[in-house]
Structure 1
Amino acid sequence: MKIKAMIVGLSAIALGGVALAQDWGTPAGDDPFAADYARSRALCRSLQGHAPPPADLPDAGTRGSLRGCSSEALYYGIGIPADPVRARLCAYAEIAEGRADAPFSGNVMLMTIYANGVGARRDLDLATRFACGLDGAPAEMDGRISHLADLKARNWQGRDFSYCNDITSGLAMGYCASHDAAIAEAGRAAEIARISRTWPPPVRRSFAALLAARDAYAALRGTSETDMSGSARVAMATESTESARAEFLGLLRLLEAGRLPAASAAEFAAADRRLNQAYAAARRGIGDMGGTVGWSDIQRTQRAWITYRDAFLAFAALRYPRVARSSLAAALTERRTAILDDMIG
């Protein structure tokens, strides 16, 4: 039944133009923005019959293999090799199957593909047609459609158009932060896989424990030590988690290259005292910060950081036995102190 529904949906796209769940060109009910956004709405209406080439849609031989696909992952190479052509086929399948609600799927990805000419022949009118079907703040919708019209007028030949170019809301900031994080994490995972490929089993087991501890700490940086009261909260939480993950890889690179700055036991002890002072200052000052972060959140994250620190030290003792424990301990401690200092200003 799903395949039959997909066939019907794709046939409608190919024969009757792009059918959109909502259309900026024909708003439902009263239009309070009619005067402000008349140009972009008129452009959307003018493109309502613009259909993709039938050859751009998935054929009978590929429809079954597209079930559950992710056009975002295929286009950007997130966790899998990039395949923009298959991303285009997948995006049509997401629409036909009713799976196009995710921020980077269906219409968004087809807009991107046709605007950039990556995965399909460039067609800025068709990209605009898909943009007309997105759901966004009025200023964002008008800005994106006007942006695409400008690209067409300039005969733009670039390949870096993105949904995120024209966002205006905190909600969309969160979508884009999560999208960027997925791309970055895929790159980090690939690099870590290359670095660790030849490690012996005991080192790999210790590293797996370290990765688990890193993930737990990074997640709490985003959920517990980020103020979640504003509209940009998802973007801010993602940024905090991303920062912890990027910091980890940075330290791993230094260790692999033998370039981690040396620190004596006395220097580590001094760094540890500064951390304790920052922690105490956070306890005293947390009540004046406002927002959603409380003392128990910082305590919870600090405990996760200690587990992460200890896992890193245990792994480093196996993988980098010539690196003084005090050097890595000091580096980790200084970074955690900087976070606490930044939180309380």
Structure 2
Amino acid sequence: MMLYANGQGIARNYKIAKKAACDTDAAVMETVGRMQHLANMESGKEWANPKIDICDDITSGFMQGYCAKIQSGLADQTRAQQFASLTSNWNIKERAAFQKLKKQAEAFITARSDLEVDLSGTSRCAEVLEEAETQKEDLLKSLQDFEAGNLPAFSNDGYTKLDRELNRVYLQLKQTKDPEFDTVKMKDIQRTQQAWLTETIG
């Protein structure tokens, strides 16, 4: 559909693009949206040199996950370039330390997104990827801040207070019955906590 509608390397052919849109396994309203989108492109109602993407007219939770996966892959490529640029002047020891931290961070991010996101809805795949994206961006932002000299400043008392509050909430959750209609259980939180401790202490 995109190939013929967008004229990518070939002449635009809306007839074939519409057939491809109809043949695509999709929710009814997604197909309706794509057909209207293609009709607008063909009639000139869209802007100059119009484009269509398979993710433009999605309505289903399944396709949200599919499209989120595409965006996540693109974001991973951009972050990899940014990490490489930030660490380009580091020595071998510093790079080795960063690779160890990155590996531990990735283990936590996987645990956090896979175990602490409710998977009961049809958009669960997209929500898992979005949570992973949030954590990955936080890691990158932290490294950028550190390189700029903006280091976190906490007193021992402040750290103790925050740690005490974290443990209070954690114990409270342990004493609470697992929700019946939520996929996140206490055992999942415990596994994620173990991954977090490995990252921060290990």
Q: Same fold (TM over 0.5)?
A: yes
In the alignment, does 2:139 pair up with 1:248?
yes
Counterpart amino acid of residue 284 in structure 1:
Q
Alignment RMSD, CA only?
2.1
Change (3 A) 1:289 1:253: farther
Change (3 A) 1:149 1:189: same
Percent identity between matched residues is 36
Q: 2: CA distance between counterparts of 1:274 and 1:229?
A: 29
Q: 2: CA distance between counterparts of 1:275 and 1:160?
A: 49
Q: Deviations over 1:182-220 (max 9, x none)?
A: 111111111101111221111111111111111111111
Counterpart amino acid of residue 250 in structure 1:
K
Deviation at 1:122, TM superposition (A): 4.8
Structure 1 equivalent of residue 25 of structure 2: 135
Q: 2: CA distance between counterparts of 1:160 and 1:289?
A: 45
Alignment of 1:1-345 (within 5 A): 111-117=1-7, 120=10, 122-153=12-43, 154-157=45-48, 161-285=52-176, 287-288=178-179, 290-311=181-202
Q: 2: CA distance between counterparts of 1:128 and 1:219?
A: 39
TM-score (norm 2): 0.88
Deviation at 1:128, TM superposition (A): 3.0
Q: 2: CA distance between counterparts of 1:132 and 1:234?
A: 25
Change (3 A) 1:284 1:239: farther
Greater RCO (CA < 8 Å, at least 6 residues apart): 2
| SS across alignment from 1:260 | coil
Give the greater-gyration-radius structure (CA). Answer: 1
Q: 1: CA distance between counterparts of 2:104 and 2:151?
A: 21
Change (3 A) 1:287 1:164: same
| SS across alignment from 2:175 | helix
| SS across alignment from 1:197 | coil
Deviation at 1:297, TM superposition (A): 0.5
Counterpart amino acid of residue 208 in structure 1:
Q
Deviation at 1:131, TM superposition (A): 2.1
List alignment gaps of at least 5 residues for structure 1: 1-110, 312-345
List alignment gaps of at least 5 residues for structure 2: none
Conserved 8 A contact 2:179-2:185: no
Aligned length: 201
